[in-house]
């Protein structure tokens, strides 16, 4: 299957370190050679880069590593095609406008019966189950909320509805999701998602998929908070926390704002010593 990478930060932050390890899984240390993409929200704007070729050999991916784009929210995806041809139109992340904002989405997994999901406001450009599910999901949110929810109670209703819709899609198969609107990052776990939050005092981290280490204390301030979410942990000397199947987390500024469907805590940590939660 595909793999996901996301970031939420309280200050504009580059994701070069995490992305360097992630891109090696796209045809290098992993089998995800059918395309990749990355999207950045920055200063009220949005830009993305997509390529239907393996990320480990992509000049565009190397550009991202060498050009530190600073962003508060990032979504990235490497693809192992199951449904749909290997082509640019089927390459994640996908984006649509809703309430005057660009909504970005990436999916890991495979669904059955997805073509029967009724579409309303949005239509897919490619022919994947992932994009069809995205169009259905946004259409359902927009049908229930014709205007952008502003009040805190309305936002909570939106988040609860999003969780319900994700659960419905999880009933069709594997549905791990990253979704963002420029203000919030939403992560939904069907089978695999892990996260880590880095904050002061910052320490060192080393990648699992590349010979690269960084001391975050040399690149941050005491007030920085950066959270990274990935299908599998990207570092081998840190403690990542796994999400529970059916769990939706709502992130803003690197901090979890709300959670739905969380399972009781157990031995779900990965690594040496459990971190506080909240990279880069």
166 is an active site residue:
no
- Say if residues 8 and 114 touch (Cβ distance below 8 Å): no
Select which of 2, 104, 135, 166 is catalytic.
2
Cα separation, 232 vs 5, in Å, equals 9
Burial of 28 by CB count in 10 Å (0-12 exposed, 13-18 middle, 19+ buried)?
Answer: middle
Q: What is the DSSP string of the chain?
A: --EEEEEEEEEEE--HHHHHHHHHTBTTSSB--S-EEEEEEETTEEEEEEESS-GGG-HHHHHHHHS---EEEEEEEE---SSS-SSGGGPSPEEEEETTEEEEEEEES-BSSGGGSPPSS---SS--HHHHHHHHHHHHHHHH-SS---SHHHHHHHHHHHHHHHHHHHTTB--EEEEE-SS-EEEEESS--EEEEEESSP-EEEBSSSS-EEEGGGT--TT-EEEEEESS-SBSSS-EEEPPTTEEEEEETTEEEEEESPPPP-S-EESSS-------
Preceding omega of 69 cis (within 30 degrees of 0): no
8 A C-beta contact, residue 139 and residue 228:
no
Catalytic residues: 2
């Amino acid at each position: 299957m595909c793999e996901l990478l996301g970031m939420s930060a309280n200050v504009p932050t580059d994701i070069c370190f995490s992305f360097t390890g992630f891109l090696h899984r796209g045809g290098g240390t992993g089998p995800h050679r059918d395309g990749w993409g990355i999207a950045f929200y920055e200063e009220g704007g949005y830009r993305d880069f997509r390529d239907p070729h393996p990320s480990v050999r992509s000049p565009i991916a190397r550009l991202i590593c060498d050009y530190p784009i600073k962003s508060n929210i990032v979504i990235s995806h490497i693809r192992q095609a199951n449904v749909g041809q290997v082509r640019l139109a089927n390459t994640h992340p996908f984006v649509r406008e809703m309430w005057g904002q660009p909504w970005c989405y990436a999916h890991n997994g495979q669904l059955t019966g997805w073509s029967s999901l009724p579409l309303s406001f949005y239509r897919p450009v490619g022919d994947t189950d992932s994009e069809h599910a995205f169009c259905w999901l946004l259409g359902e949110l927009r049908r229930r909320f014709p205007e952008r929810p502003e009040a805190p109670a309305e936002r909570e209703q939106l988040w609860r509805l999003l969780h319900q819709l994700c659960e419905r899609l999880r009933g069709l198969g594997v549905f791990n999701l990253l979704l963002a609107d420029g203000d919030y990052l939403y992560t939904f776990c069907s089978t695999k998602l892990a996260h880590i939050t880095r904050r002061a005092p910052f320490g060192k981290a080393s990648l699992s998929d590349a010979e690269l280490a960084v001391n975050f204390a040399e690149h941050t301030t005491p007030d920085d908070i950066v959270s990274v979410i990935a299908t599998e942990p990207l570092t081998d000397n840190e403690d990542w926390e796994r999400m529970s199947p059916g769990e939706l987390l709502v992130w803003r500024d690197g901090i979890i704002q709300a959670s739905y469907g969380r399972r009781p805590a157990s031995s779900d940590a990965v690594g040496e010593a459990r971190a506080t939660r909240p990279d880069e």
